[in-house]
């Protein structure tokens, strides 16, 4: 009897909680939800109900995005191998059909993910191909030559450096060129990886291994990093059993060095900072953190994945750039992506160490396998030769003159766009960006910047990069944005005006979702939402 009453109580309680969650999501009763959600999650059944609600919200959200435009294909059965292989023409048609539904980065409407110097296959809407080539200041031959280098090593594998010595030579030369560019001494060494994520993962792994050998008494190692550090550091910590202690940034969006110092404990094994951080394009105070690292006897990793192949040339052109690289004696490692502003194909990145005493801890070795002695310098076992060759080719093709030429034109375009944004009533540039990117925020409470992004996407065909804490839009500038800068500013001004005149836009679309996320006190719910989202879109 009492068991039934107990069960009914919990069913009733769970239904009440479910109703509150639906009430919050659908009617915006934020304060009620804020008070109840954290405490109520501990009761039986609540987690399950919230999970069901999240799943329902995710499926509804996905159905209202571009991912679900062709709803008829949602019910297609599992894809299997064709009984007979496709012909060349059939394959080309299928690829063309799929590519036709993608954003074309060469049209200059997206501000992340793709970093190129241009392609002769671009379909620019605003200017002819010849004018774009003239404005970008660089030959489109670059991509063709990089592709040629990639194809020359299409099936080669750099796992064993003895089998393909050409790949070993190209990798060591890419590492050497990158180290020189970042003012490393002859002792600086490193490896190529598949991208910035792997570079940062490998750096954290190396320090974890180093600490376990030198200081085995540290059982709960910690990393101290500003909140703007790239999530790949958190991802690495999650993978390898460390904890990231996040510290605040100042009003200039740079790491608060005093806060970092206060966060250091006997468990601290690594300091991290960015050059620049992706969010706002601002370089952390690397010299000050370098001094802190030396004072505390801690290694210091600088994540320059985003800016490693841009900041050196920005500085050489005379722009003010903080000393961000190996010129700081406390910097013990850096990461820099060749496939970003090194204009290489995905994926190629470099992780560098001050000397081999640090780098050797990245290498994994196993001597007991019946299949032979096994060693690997990175996360990947098989290491595609094409990526290594493409990275080598891209740097060799551009040279210092090519990098400076592109950088100069990109910085001119970036500054033009920043000044244009500042002239739009109600908008601002966050902080003082150091390179070819910036973040746009609102100065007017009547202008929801996420709603501005919605209008830009629905009416202007742009794909905006959304940020939070504070709410803003990120723009990375590349050659394909040069001919579109004026149109971007015109559309941004019109979209801002429309949002200001129609406050209901902030309660619709993605703007409403970001507004909801900002008010949820339990961020674990947001993480669960993201897990549900990825589960749904990759069905």
Q: Cα torsion at 65, 69, 73, 78 (round to 10°)?
A: -30
Give the tokens for residue 374: 């096994």
**Apex CA 237: angle with CA 194 and CA 255, to 5°?**
95
Q: Say if residue 375 is in the same domain as residue 406.
A: no
Q: Which of 339, 367, 397 is the last residue of a domain?
A: 397
Q: Among the listed ranges 33-42, 230-239, 426-435, which one has the minimum average pLDDT value? A: 33-42
Contact call for residues 285 and 322 (beta carbons, < 8 A): yes
Distances from the Cα of 196 to the Cα of 37, 61, 203, 286, 338, angstroms: 36, 30, 11, 19, 9
CA 190 to chain centre: 22
Beta bridge partners of 110: 463
- Strands (E) located in 383-463: 427-429, 437-442
Three-state DSSP at 72 gives helix
Q: Say if residue 314 is in the same domain as residue 447.
A: no
Contact call for residues 417 and 257 (beta carbons, < 8 A): no
Contact call for residues 246 and 277 (beta carbons, < 8 A): no
Looking at the domain assignment, is residue 89 inside a domain? no
pLDDT, tens digit, for every residue of 55-105? 666 566 656 555 555 554 555 677 765 767 667 776 677 767 765 665 555
DSSP, residue by residue, 334-395 = EEEETTTTT-PPSS-EEEEESSHHHHGGG-EEE---TT--EEESSS-SS-BHHHHHHHHHHH
Q: Say if residue 419 is in the same domain as residue 385.
A: no
Three-state DSSP at 244 gives strand
pLDDT, the chain, mean: 81
Looking at the domain assignment, is residue 494 inside a domain? yes
Supply the pLDDT for residue 7: 47
pLDDT, tens digit, for every residue of 351-363? 999 999 999 999 9
C-alpha span between 488 and 483 (Å, rounded): 10
Q: Provide the residue range defining the domain that includes 511.
A: 400-537
Report the share of the chain in percent with pLDDT over 90.
49
Q: Say if residue 408 is in the same domain as residue 531.
A: yes
Supply the pLDDT for residue 443: 96
Q: Say if residue 326 is in the same domain as residue 189.
A: yes
Looking at the domain assignment, is residue 140 inside a domain? no
Q: How confident is the model at residue 120 (pLDDT cuts 50, 70, 90)?
A: very low
pLDDT above 60 for 34: no
- Integer Rg of the chain from CA: 25
C-alpha span between 443 and 436 (Å, rounded): 22
Q: Say if residue 175 is in the same domain as residue 236.
A: yes
Q: Say if residue 245 is in the same domain as residue 330.
A: yes
Q: Which of 370, 397, 424 is the last residue of a domain?
A: 397
Q: Say if residue 356 is in the same domain as residue 391.
A: yes
pLDDT above 60 for 20: no
DSSP, residue by residue, 515-538 = HHHHH-S-HHHHHHHHHHHHHHHT
Q: Say if residue 418 is in the same domain as residue 387.
A: no
Q: Which of 397, 431, 462 is the last residue of a domain?
A: 397
C-alpha span between 31 and 28 (Å, rounded): 9
Supply the pLDDT for residue 27: 46
**Structural element, H or E, at residue 509:** helix 509-519
C-alpha span between 343 and 10 (Å, rounded): 58
Supply the pLDDT for residue 9: 47
C-alpha span between 117 and 138 (Å, rounded): 7
Q: Say if residue 172 is in the same domain as residue 257.
A: yes
Residue with the bigger pLDDT between 210 and 345: it is 210
Contact call for residues 474 and 467 (beta carbons, < 8 A): yes
Q: What's the pTM value of the predicted model, to 2 decimals?
A: 0.79
Looking at the domain assignment, is residue 113 inside a domain? no
């Amino acid at each position: 009897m009492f068991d039934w009453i107990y069960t009914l109580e919990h069913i009733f309680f769970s239904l009440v909680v479910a109703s509150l969650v639906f009430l919050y999501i659908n009617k915006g009763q934020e304060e009620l939800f804020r008070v109840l959600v954290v405490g109520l999650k501990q009761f039986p059944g609540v987690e399950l109900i919230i999970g069901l609600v999240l799943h329902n919200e995710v499926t509804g959200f996905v159905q209202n995005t571009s991912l679900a435009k062709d709803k008829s294909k949602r019910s297609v059965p599992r894809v299997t191998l064709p009984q007979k292989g496709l012909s060349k023409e059939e394959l080309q048609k299928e690829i063309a059909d799929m590519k036709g539904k993608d954003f074309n980065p060469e049209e200059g409407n997206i501000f992340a993910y793709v970093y190129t110097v241009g392609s002769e296959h671009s379909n620019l809407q605003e200017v002819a191909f010849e004018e774009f080539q003239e404005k970008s200041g660089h030959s489109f031959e670059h991509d063709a030559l990089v592709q040629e280098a990639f194809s020359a090593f299409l099936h080669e594998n750099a796992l064993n450096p003895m089998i393909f010595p050409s790949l070993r030579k190209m990798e060591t030369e890419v590492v050497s060129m990158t180290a020189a560019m970042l003012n490393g001494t002859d002792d600086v060494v490193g490896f190529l990886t598949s991208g910035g994520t792997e570079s940062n993962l490998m750096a954290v792994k190396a320090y974890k291994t180093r600490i376990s050998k030198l200081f085995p008494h540290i059982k709960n190692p910690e990393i101290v990093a500003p909140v703007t550090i790239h999530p790949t550091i958190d991802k690495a910590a999650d993978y390898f059993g460390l904890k990231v202690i996040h510290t605040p940034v100042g009003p200039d969006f740079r790491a608060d060095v005093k806060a970092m110092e206060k966060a250091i404990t006997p468990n601290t094994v690594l300091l991290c900072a960015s050059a620049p951080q992706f969010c706002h394009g601002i370089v952390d105070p690397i010299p000050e953190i370098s001094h802190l690292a030396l004072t505390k006897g801690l290694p210091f990793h600088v994540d320059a994945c985003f800016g490693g192949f841009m900041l050196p040339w920005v500085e050489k052109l005379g722009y003010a750039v903080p000393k961000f690289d190996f010129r700081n004696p406390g910097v013990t490692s850096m990461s820099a992506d060749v496939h970003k502003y090194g204009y290489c194909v995905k994926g190629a990145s470099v992780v560098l160490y001050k000397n081999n005493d640090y780098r050797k801890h990245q290498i994994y070795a196993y001597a007991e396998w019946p299949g032979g002695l096994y060693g690997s310098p990175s996360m990947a076992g098989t290491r595609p030769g094409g990526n290594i060759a493409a990275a080598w080719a891209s740097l060799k093709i551009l040279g210092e003159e090519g990098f400076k030429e592109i950088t100069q034109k990109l910085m001119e375009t970036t500054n033009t766009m920043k000044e244009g944004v500042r002239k739009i009533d109600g908008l601002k540039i966050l902080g003082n960006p150091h390179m070819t990117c910036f973040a746009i925020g609102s100065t007017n409470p009547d202008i929801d910047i996420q709603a501005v992004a919605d209008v830009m996407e629905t009416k202007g065909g742009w794909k905006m990069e959304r940020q939070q804490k504070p709410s803003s839009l990120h723009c990375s500038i590349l050659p394909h944005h040069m001919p579109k800068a004026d149109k971007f500013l015109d559309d941004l001004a019109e979209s801002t005006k429309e949002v200001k005149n129609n406050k209901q836009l902030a309660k619709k679309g993605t703007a409403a979702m970001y507004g909801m996320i900002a008010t949820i006190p339990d961020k674990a719910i947001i993480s669960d939402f993201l897990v549900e989202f990825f589960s749904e879109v990759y069905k």
